[in-house]
């Protein structure tokens, strides 16, 4: 039996070998399929890595924050500044956005309080991820934010309204800019107006904060040294119920008129007490008084034909006219307050600078701001089509000259405007506000 089984086993072995035959040097079909899968997987991995690298080179959406006084003593102005800001956001996104993406925005309310301003700035940067800030409104708030938050964090900040000379020397690491003139310019313009009104001896009541101190000092210096005038300065604190004592202090040299540098809430009390007590009947106003609320509270019969200064804008430029038409289309009324155009311009400047930088990094955006605001360069106007062309030019590395709704933004080494305008205005007997001219600076 065993001798018979051996041939059978051998036959089975040879048969199996014949069934599995072939050249062992050739790859088997199953092995060839696995190799192809491995190559395809490697190709997919390389493609994914390349796509990921390409995506990482494109910054995420630019986040622009607005920080303004939406409640408190400057609320009327602050609310309209926000409208200017939002119009700019709309125009930027209609022009294609920044980095080909819509920009995002944040809103913060300071309530005219520097402590709140600092906390709002911290929230918008550290929690909400803001890359830049348009604001704050008051000089006191802008200084607090710049020195405590944006400067140390490396976040660019453009104030549309803060004019105190203190901003020029703030410890801000060169991250604080402004879209309105320094009061070292606005104070002398007010002194010129007072002289042109025929006054050589005035009382001066000013708000005791960074803004009031700065413009009061620059006014008094120019009025005395340039125009040979006399002035008695008296500081007032906000939120008092009466300012009669301070008004009486300003009368010691028997002045011909009162120059008032105050916000509307305290200004209304100062004017009413001055008039009702027969202490003053002639006034000259600083920029914060260019407000319908003041003439409505006191009346055109008392304030009619009395003049003031405020931040001015380039008169009758194509950019200004385009913007004014766009504002009416958006809000169904003309703009009414200083700094509305400046809030728009600051927002557009950030979009152009970020596009030029190709980055949301604060230092990179800061370093481009001075390249987009002054001649020579491709002119960009406050208009969607022109902004679209400007964003493309910025991507291409071209220098830009943004001729804004208010004026060109040509910044010096301190973040101050090198050129601009101071506006002259007056109250009318009918209770309106009328712009009467501009005083150019740096032209």
The DSSP code sequence of 8-35 is HHHHHHHHHHHHT-S-TTSPPHHHHHHH
Instruction: Give the pairing of strands 420-427 and 307-311.
Output: antiparallel
pLDDT in tens, 343-376: 999 999 999 999 999 999 999 999 999 999 888 8
Every domain of the chain and the residues it spans = 63-182+315-420, 184-311+423-441
pLDDT in tens, 178-214: 999 999 999 999 999 999 999 999 999 999 999 999 9
Pick the CATH number of 63-182+315-420 from 3.40.50.300, 3.40.640.10, 2.60.40.10, 3.40.50.2300: 3.40.50.2300
- The pLDDT value recorded for residue 43 is 54
Mean of pLDDT values over 17-24: 42
- The pLDDT value recorded for residue 3 is 39
**b vs e for 43-74, b when ≥16 Cβ sit within 10 Å of the residue's Cβ?**
eeeeeeeeeeeeeeeebeebbbbbbbbbebbb
Confidence of residue 22 (pLDDT cuts 50, 70, 90): very low
Q: Do domains 63-182+315-420 and 184-311+423-441 have the same CATH topology?
A: yes
Contact 177, 157 (CB under 8 A): yes
Strand partners for 176: 157
Confidence of residue 315 (pLDDT cuts 50, 70, 90): confident
Kindly report the three-state secondary structure assignment for every residue of 168-208.
HHCCCCCCEEECCCCHHHHHHHHHHHHHHCCCCEEEEEEEC
Q: Which of 230, 263, 265, 266 is nearest to 246 (CA)?
A: 266
Enter the pTM of the model.
0.85
Confidence of residue 13 (pLDDT cuts 50, 70, 90): very low
Confidence of residue 57 (pLDDT cuts 50, 70, 90): low
| Tokens standing for residue 278 | 């027969």
Mean of pLDDT values over 275-287: 98
Q: Regarding predicted confidence, which is higher, 396 or 39?
A: 396
In the block, residue with structure tokens 């140390």? 152
Question: How far, CA to CA in Å, does 205 sit from each of 105, 164, 165, 273, 403?
Answer: 38, 16, 18, 13, 36
Chain centre distance of CA 27: 69
Confidence of residue 316 (pLDDT cuts 50, 70, 90): confident
| Tokens standing for residue 418 | 């090198």
pLDDT in tens, 123-135: 999 999 999 999 9
Backbone angles phi, psi at 319, to 5 degrees: -65, -45
| Tokens standing for residue 70 | 């939406």
In this predicted structure, the answer to whether residue 40 has a pLDDT above a threshold of 90 is no
In this predicted structure, the answer to whether residue 56 has a pLDDT above a threshold of 90 is no
Pick the CATH number of 184-311+423-441 from 3.10.520.10, 2.60.40.10, 3.40.50.2300, 3.20.20.70: 3.40.50.2300
User: What does the mean pLDDT of the chain come to?
Assistant: 89
* CA triple 403-66-394, angle to 5 deg: 40
Question: How far, CA to CA in Å, does 94 sit from each of 48, 101, 277, 352, 359?
Answer: 32, 11, 55, 14, 20
- The pLDDT value recorded for residue 26 is 43
- The pLDDT value recorded for residue 34 is 56
Mean of pLDDT values over 92-115: 97
- The continuous run of DSSP H or E covering 38 comes out as helix 29-56
| Tokens standing for residue 53 | 């690298």
Rg (Cα) of the chain, in Å, rounded?
A: 33
Mean of pLDDT values over 278-305: 97
- The pLDDT value recorded for residue 15 is 38
């Amino acid at each position: 039996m065993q001798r018979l089984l051996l041939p059978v086993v051998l036959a089975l072995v040879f048969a199996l070998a014949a069934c599995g035959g072939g050249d062992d040097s050739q790859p088997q079909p199953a092995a060839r399929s696995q190799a192809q899968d491995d190559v395809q997987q490697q190709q997919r991995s390389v493609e994914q890595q390349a796509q990921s690298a390409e995506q990482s080179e494109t910054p995420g959406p630019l986040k622009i924050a607005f920080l303004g006084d939406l409640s408190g003593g400057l609320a009327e102005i602050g609310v309209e500044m926000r409208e200017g800001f939002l119009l700019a956001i709309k125009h930027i996104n209609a022009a294609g956005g920044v980095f080909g993406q819509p920009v995002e925005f944040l809103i913060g309310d300071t309530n005219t309080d520097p402590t709140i301003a600092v906390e709002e700035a911290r929230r918008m940067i550290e929690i909400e991820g803001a890359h830049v800030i348009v604001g704050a409104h008051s000089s006191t708030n802008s200084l607090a934010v710049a020195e405590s938050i944006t400067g140390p964090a490396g976040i660019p900040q453009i104030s549309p309204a803060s004019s105190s000379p203190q901003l020029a020397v703030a410890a801000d690491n060169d991250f604080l800019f402004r879209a309105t003139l320094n009061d070292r310019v606005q104070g002398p313009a007010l002194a010129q107006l007072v002289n042109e009104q025929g006054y050589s001896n005035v009382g001066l009541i000013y708000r005791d904060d960074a803004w009031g101190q700065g413009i009061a000092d620059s006014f008094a210096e120019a009025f005395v040294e340039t125009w040979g005038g006399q002035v008695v300065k008296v500081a007032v604190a906000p939120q008092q119920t009466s300012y009669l004592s301070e008004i009486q202090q300003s009368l010691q040299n028997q002045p011909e008129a009162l120059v008032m540098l105050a916000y509307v809430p305290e200004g209304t009390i100062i004017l009413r007490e001055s008039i009702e007590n027969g202490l003053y009947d002639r006034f000259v106003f600083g920029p914060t008084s260019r407000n319908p609320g003041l003439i409505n509270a006191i009346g055109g019969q008392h304030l009619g034909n009395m003049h003031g200064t405020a931040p001015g804008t380039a008169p009758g430029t194509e950019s200004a006219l385009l913007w004014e038409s766009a504002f009416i289309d958006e809000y169904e009324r003309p703009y009414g307050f200083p700094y509305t155009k400046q809030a728009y311009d600051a927002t557009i400047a950030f979009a152009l600078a970020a596009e030029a930088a190709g980055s949301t990094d604060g230092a990179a955006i800061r370093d481009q701001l001075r390249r987009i605001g002054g001649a020579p360069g491709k002119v960009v106007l406050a208009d969607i089509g022109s902004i679209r062309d400007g964003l493309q030019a910025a991507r291409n590395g071209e220098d830009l000259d943004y001729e804004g709704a208010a004026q060109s933004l040509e910044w010096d080494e301190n973040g101050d405007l090198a050129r601009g305008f101071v506006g002259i205005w007056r109250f009318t007997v009918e209770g309106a506000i009328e712009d009467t001219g501009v005083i150019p600076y740096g032209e």
